[in-house]
Amino acid sequence: MTYKMKCILLKIITMEVLINIMSNITITKEQALAIAKKDAEKEYGDLSYYEVSCTLKDEAWHIDYALIDKSLLGGGPHYIISATDGTFIDIRYEQ
């Protein structure tokens, strides 16, 4: 990794930390993904058929498991997790 790339990465990380502090967000993306994964594994078992997306919106993590193979029927779980305390705001399961 070049020096310039390291500087850019540091700026991105610094901005993410500042945004988290300023908006009372205490649950990181990684923590939210771990919370969702624990429930998803309990409900679905093998998660290798799914790709995961995670976005932060309105102080909540929106985590969606979508089938990689679009020809398969059904779908995966969808979560909204509070970014301030890690609790589930909403869970929707597709079968």
pLDDT in tens, the chain (95 residues): 788 887 787 788 777 776 665 567 889 999 999 999 999 999 999 999 999 999 999 889 999 999 999 898 889 999 999 999 999 999 999 97
Residue 32 phi, psi (nearest 5):
-60, -45
Write down the pTM of the prediction: 0.74
pLDDT reported for residue 34: 98
pLDDT at site 62: 98
Q: With helix as H, strand as E and coil as C, how does 3-53 read? A: HHHHHHHHHHHHHHHHHHHHCCCCCCHHHHHHHHHHHHHHHHCCCCCEEEE
Between CA 48 and CA 76 the distance in angstroms is 11
